[in-house]
Chains A and B, each alone.
Chain A
């Protein structure tokens, strides 16, 4: 295409975004009562607008997630003492289900723009943020810890300031991994979309126009047609995100791969070509680019030679004091939670919630085991065949984004039809979105098996069960464990949408921690909400520390290729 037509394409693109944004900003400044007057309509003609609102929320949340990642993860990686607090805290944040954040922050967000829709939008964006940010921060933290020493030293030798090293060395180095995690985050956000756009806390019910609310309304109205429209709209938005955002990002970040070999296949993207070749987009980007360049040149404040490090306290004492502060602070939090919960609930409540936690734990264990039995062999089979991998990857990615609510009609109908026990038969919904992480990772592991090793197995006629036992399964082990950790953590979070399931006026409950939190949120019972969240974090963190962490290290040591 000629340069002119790239400009035309980019122009249409930019114009469209501006129009939609203007429309959206007009709407969010309306009073909150407008939402009640214009309920979400199931007419598919509204879907483009809903889809855009949802997409915009997701993008804004993604921007905040990036800001959070660049600050929080950097702080945790740069300061050893801060890291001691921030890294475990991130672990806990990751384990808190979306409804937990909702109930405690909703009032705050509504008060930011009193009586306006904007406040509710803030809340929705925050909820989407909570399903995106944590794994991005984790990934960037890992990257920062593994920046090659030579790169860092080269930067210092050239007298680059910390700010300039951050943007020119550390961020580019972590970029490929971060982009992959942004894609995973988007899937997570889709999965939790209904809970983020249509929520009820006590007496406050909010339904913001968007695909999530549309799905909620479709479930309420028992409209299968609307469910299919929603799936279609979702598919379109996912494809657009993929083409206009993620694929260009992947192709662009290709240059930052340190281990790239010239022979590797280059990622391509037509959208990236458009961004690069269009003068319009160039003109928009240039001032920003110049500003960044200028900022690199601001000389770092002359730091005095490290005499200051001879502080009054000996280092061991400083560390000791810091630990003491952490312990005291932790104890204070536990004490506050205990008194708050204890003011309304007794020991029997705590035991009850613990038992519910055990029920959910059992479900997670059984389902992850079942999912592994299915997806490990499938993943190995697919991963060894590149042409299959190319077909399966995008499908699995779409399925990972598939909100559980879309399957409610099937689940409820089947349970009622055959009079099944909801405690057992609602459970599969928990791994609906998360099982794919096992598949992704196993596929990645199998395709990373070196060709010579496969040849060696074939040459020595290692076949059948012997092959699976000695070659296939060990080869994907570290990848599988990584996937299973993600899947298991995600399944806990999914419990809140998987243990309470409704279709029209029929609502099914399963006995478990997820249902407990979901019910407490709808009832606006803060004591129970806090107890439930606390219990869930406790379970997730304990299972991670006692089971997944050790397994991960074992797999990493024994099975990793070098």
Chain B
């Protein structure tokens, strides 16, 4: 098997105003060979899209090596084509013109450009739409144009950045199966595919290998080889095993860190995602349903509630942190408090969350304590954001504080006035 792409120890960070650089990718390794589909799987913010942009030559890594066919990548290479999440079609060009654009850039003769473009349009099932403008097409058809535009240049590597995530479920499935079928029948003029996704089922369905990315900074934590014949059946128990395994891998690490470190220190060392109290209540109620009876398998509940892992994980982690549920081995299990929450009315729920914050979220308890101690019971935002910024980036600190505010508002633990940027213990005064 010929090696197409070799990434070793790739590092990438972004400069931030007034502070150290934000490290997005750290020590990422990848070998991509001929004839395989490799998936990069991770949550948003894990740097997987950044990694793809590096391979496409749209940005340069700050450390490590990135070689395509044995030569370092510095700038877009002609053998690497990309399909974008939002399609990125040019609205003022017709379908045919959009597809031809890449060939025109190669400086091919007009006749050849037309012939190849029409062949790609035909292959991807777009005949009859040549003269349409993108705005006249449905999302699925637009992404087909995106595929045709990438395939027409006959790239060695096809990069796909969450290509199905902007489509509805049916359209996405239809496009995935079409693509896999073409790939299996060796109809695609490409040698290998690199797919970025946050959809676990999608990765198991399409890829020969899946690399799991962790967040902050992005690293490849695990590689899982998916040894199933195509076409793959989602109800096949082996398919489900792979999905379960990935869920376990992706939840394990973060949760472990969350509980051990925070018990010691008031300031959290990893950002806390602001999850709305509605989502928290909603997930608890769903897990408390007789169908699950207090213990739910994450893949099941994700498909049941139609939640992407990007949406489900932060809620599940919030429950875990508040000790309303335990997140273990790909399962979410309600604790005693969690079960009480499910049966409680609004006031009792506020009471439960308030206690959970005081006992299990040291930073929330810290804010409350500071407000209690001050004689006017108010404190400026700066007081707390500074503490957080000692440990994390500006954005992460902001996010964490927003999480605290949102939960404390629900629990009526303390209040916050955005206009004057002040925390206080009073309830908002009623006007008039």
Which residues of A are in contact with B by a Cβ distance under 8 Å?
Answer: 276-277, 293, 450, 452-453, 455-456, 458-463, 466, 470-471, 474, 477, 558-562
Contacts and interface: CB of A to CB of B under 8 A. Distances in A.
Contacts of B56: 455, 459
A559 B91 contact: yes
Contact of B153 (A460, A466, A560): A460
A474 B153 CA distance: 23
Contacts of A452: 84-88
A452 B161 CA distance: 10
Given A277-B420, A293-B432, A470-B93, A463 B88 contact: no
A552 to B, nearest CB: 15
B76 interface: yes
B404 interface: no
B424 to A, nearest CB: 14
Given A455-B56, A466-B104, 13 more contacts: A293-B432, A452-B84, A452-B86, A455-B82, A459-B82, A460-B101, A461-B106, A462-B104, A466-B105, A470-B101, A560-B91, A561-B91, A562-B135
Contact of A459 (B58, B87, B97, B104): B58
Given A453-B90, A471-B90, A559-B91, A462 B84 contact: no
Nearest to B91: A561
Given A458-B58, A461-B102, A562-B135, A474 B92 contact: yes
Contacts of A461: 76, 78, 102, 105-106
Count chain B CB atoms within 10 A of each CB in A293, A461, A462, A463 and give the residue with the most: A461
Contacts of B105: 460-463, 466
Nearest to A460: B102
Interface string B102-124: 10111000000000000000000
Nearest to B159: A459
Contacts of A455: 53, 56, 58, 82, 84, 88
Given A460-B102, A460-B105, A559 B76 contact: no
20 contacts: A293-B432, A452-B87, A452-B88, A453-B90, A455-B53, A455-B56, A455-B82, A455-B84, A455-B88, A456-B82, A458-B76, A459-B76, A460-B105, A461-B78, A462-B101, A470-B90, A470-B104, A474-B90, A477-B92, A559-B92
Nearest to B135: A562
A450 B58 contact: no
Give the secondary structure class of A's interface: helix
B81 interface: yes
A561 B90 CA distance: 9
A450 B104 contact: no
A459 B89 CA distance: 13
B149 interface: yes
Contacts of A456: 82, 84, 88-90, 149
Nearest to B431: A293
Nearest to A3: B420
Contacts of B80: 459
A474 B90 CA distance: 9
Interface in B198-213: none
Contacts of A459: 56-58, 76, 80-82
Contacts of B2: none
A463 B106 CA distance: 10
Q: 6 closest A-B pairs (Cβ-Cβ)?
A: A460-B102, A452-B88, A456-B88, A474-B92, A461-B105, A462-B105
Contacts of A466: 104-105
B265 interface: no
A463 B58 CA distance: 14
B430 interface: no
Interface of B: 53, 56-58, 76, 78, 80-82, 84-93, 97, 101-102, 104-106, 135, 149, 153, 419-420, 432
A461 B102 CA distance: 7
A462 B97 CA distance: 13
A460 B158 CA distance: 12
A453 B91 CA distance: 10
A461 B85 CA distance: 19
Contacts of A561: 91
A29 to B, nearest CB: 41
A33 B85 CA distance: 72
Nearest to B432: A293
B106 A562 contact: no
Contacts of A560: 91
A474 B58 CA distance: 22
A562 B86 contact: no
Nearest to B80: A459
A557 to B, nearest CB: 10
Nearest to B59: A455
A456 B102 CA distance: 9
A522 B85 CA distance: 64
Nearest to A471: B90
Contacts of B106: 461
Contacts of A450: 86, 88
Nearest to A462: B105
A558 B88 CA distance: 16
Contacts of A477: 92
A450 B153 CA distance: 23
B58 A276 contact: no
A450 B91 CA distance: 12
Count chain B CB atoms within 10 A of each CB in A276, A450, A456, A559 and give the residue with the most: A456
Nearest to B149: A460
B153 A558 contact: no
A469 to B, nearest CB: 10
Count chain A CB atoms within 10 A of each CB in B53, B92, B93 and give the residue with the most: B92
B157 to A, nearest CB: 12
Contacts of A462: 101-102, 104-105
Nearest to B153: A460
B199 to A, nearest CB: 19
A278 to B, nearest CB: 12
A239 B44 CA distance: 42
Contacts of A453: 88, 90
Contacts of B58: 455, 458-459
Count chain A CB atoms within 10 A of each CB in B78, B90, B93, B102 and give the residue with the most: B90
Nearest to B93: A470
A276 B92 contact: no
B322 to A, nearest CB: 23
Nearest to B97: A470
A560 B84 CA distance: 20
A562 B89 CA distance: 11
Count chain B CB atoms within 10 A of each CB in A455, A462, A477 and give the residue with the most: A455
Contacts of B88: 450, 452-453, 455-456
A562 B92 CA distance: 11
A558 B94 CA distance: 11
A213 to B, nearest CB: 42
A455 B104 CA distance: 17
Nearest to A561: B91
A298 to B, nearest CB: 15
A202 to B, nearest CB: 54
Count chain A CB atoms within 10 A of each CB in B89, B93, B104, B105 and give the residue with the most: B105
A466 B88 CA distance: 17
A456 B91 CA distance: 13
A279 to B, nearest CB: 12
A461 B58 CA distance: 11
Contacts of B419: 276
Contact of A460 (B53, B81, B93): B81
B360 to A, nearest CB: 26
A455 B89 CA distance: 11
A266 to B, nearest CB: 11
A129 B84 CA distance: 50
Contacts of A562: 91, 135
A470 B76 CA distance: 18
Count chain A CB atoms within 10 A of each CB in B91, B97, B149 and give the residue with the most: B91
B110 to A, nearest CB: 14
A452 B376 CA distance: 50
